[in-house]
Amino acid sequence: MIIYLAAPWVCRAGAREIRDLLQQLPGIRVHARWLDVDETRTTQTQEARNDLDDIDAADVLVVLNLEKSEGKAFEQGYAYCRRIPVVIVGEPRLNVFQHLPDVIVVEDVSAAIDWLMDFVPRKVAT
């Protein structure tokens, strides 16, 4: 299963740690190039396109709901419209779209891992 991990840019270091934790799980791969982007070697336009391509390739979008962020809000909306499941990690919900009934909200990373490990067999079966 491929996960796109969304988080505020200013929380990128912590998001990398969570990516590394998730990738230790069986059947999980995190594909979010923004986590390792070298800003001196790319443009913001290219990074935006990479993010959309990475979301398109994902089976699930996991949002680290650490603080408001226009980027992660856009990514959530994009994934939702593409019918990619959206899992919000943390409360409070930071925008109205996080209240939609088919958006999954979990308390913490541990609960997200539980949800993902339950989702992997369902994804493999389809």
- In the block, residue with structure tokens 């069986």: 26
37 and 45 in contact (C-beta within 8 Å)? no
Ordered by start, the domain boundaries in the chain are 2-125
What does the pLDDT look like over 36-51, one tens digit per residue? 998 788 899 999 999 9
Confidence category of residue 92, pLDDT binned at 50, 70, 90: confident
28 and 120 in contact (C-beta within 8 Å)? yes
Question: Which residues, 6+ apart, have CB-to-CB distance to 41 below 8 Å?
Answer: none
Which CATH code for domain 2-125? 3.40.50.450
Assigned token pair, 47: 């990074």
Peptide bond connecting 92 to the previous residue in cis, omega within 30 degrees of 0: yes
42-66: average pLDDT = 95
Counting residues of the chain whose pLDDT is more than 90, the rounded percentage is: 77
- Residues present in the chain in total: 126
Peptide bond connecting 121 to the previous residue in cis, omega within 30 degrees of 0: no
Residue 84 CA to residue 89 CA, distance in Å, equals 16
3 and 29 in contact (C-beta within 8 Å)? yes
